[in-house]
Amino acid sequence: MRIFRCFVVAGLAVAWAGLLPLRGEESHPVSRDYQLLPGDIVRVQVFQEPDLDRELRVSQDGELTFPLIGRVTTKDRTLSQIEETVRAAYDRDFLVNPQITIVIVKYGPRAVKVLGMVNQPQAVEFPPEQSMTVLDAISRAGGFNRLADRRRVRLTRTFSDGHVESFTINADDLISGGSKEQWLVQRDDVIYVPERLL
């Protein structure tokens, strides 16, 4: 019985440290250079300060709201940078040499819209740990239909500072290997396949 209790206590200690998932949720191994995006859910743990532990969702404005220190921006910042900002804020006014750990619990949805002359126009989701090309996205939308102008595929992208750019892509060159460019898509890209002129 004593041995069993030791195993239970040890298991709980490891789970608290973030090495095991809590409440049946799975924390995702991720690079410390990963930049948080709106909709991501993170687990924040402050060593020996359980009252400050939280699961937080990144707001649509790209912010996390912490106990005591308030809002911290996540835009264009890595997990390591956010941890350091939070650590410094707690250290400055509330705690002595705090140890902060932030891990991903769940990624927010990532999708691109594929519109125009494809067989199944739709929003195509893709996991953040995997890359997807323009051709991959079109394939998942059922591929080009018979009216598609594959030489004038348009990719529209909104950047983090709000400016928008459009790119014209010759998909025939990509398919034939005539172009080395992969054209990896990013979250919220819009791919439009125009109708070819007869």
- As given in the structure block, the two tokens for residue 159 are 């950047």
β-pairing verdict for 54-57 and 41-46:
antiparallel
For residue 171, the model assigns a pLDDT of 96
Q: How far apart, in whole angstroms, are the C-alpha atoms of residue 178 and residue 107?
A: 35
| Tens of pLDDT, residue by residue, the chain (198 residues) | 444 333 333 343 333 333 333 333 444 456 778 888 889 999 999 999 999 999 999 998 899 999 999 999 998 899 999 999 999 999 999 999 999 999 999 888 889 999 999 999 999 998 776 789 999 999 999 999 999 999 999 999 998 778 999 999 999 999 998 888 889 999 899 999 999 987
| Cβ-contact 72, 89 below 8 angstroms | yes
β-pairing verdict for 164-169 and 100-106:
unpaired
**What is 111-193's CATH topology?**
Outer membrane lipoprotein wza fold like (3.10.560)
CB-based contacts of 36, cutoff 8 Å, min separation 6: 42, 58, 62, 64, 74, 77, 79, 82
β-bridge mates for residue 46, sequence order: 100
Helical H segments across 94-167, by residue range: 134-140
Boundaries of CATH 3.10.560.10 in the chain?
A: 111-193
Each residue's pLDDT tens digit, 55-91:
999 998 899 999 999 999 998 899 999 999 999 999 9
Boundaries of CATH 3.30.1950.10 in the chain?
A: 24-106
DSSP per residue, 106-126: EPPP-EEEEEESBSS-EEEE-
Each residue's pLDDT tens digit, 26-46:
444 567 788 888 899 999 999
Q: How far apart, in whole angstroms, are the C-alpha atoms of residue 26 and residue 29?
A: 9
Q: How far apart, in whole angstroms, are the C-alpha atoms of residue 158 and residue 164?
A: 4
Pick from 178, 164, 172: nearest CA to 134: 172
- The CATH code that applies to domain 24-106 is 3.30.1950.10
Q: What is the pTM of this model?
A: 0.64
Q: How far apart, in whole angstroms, are the C-alpha atoms of residue 119 and residue 148?
A: 10
CA 107 from chain centre, in angstroms, equals 5
Pick from 68, 78, 87, 84: nearest CA to 40: 78
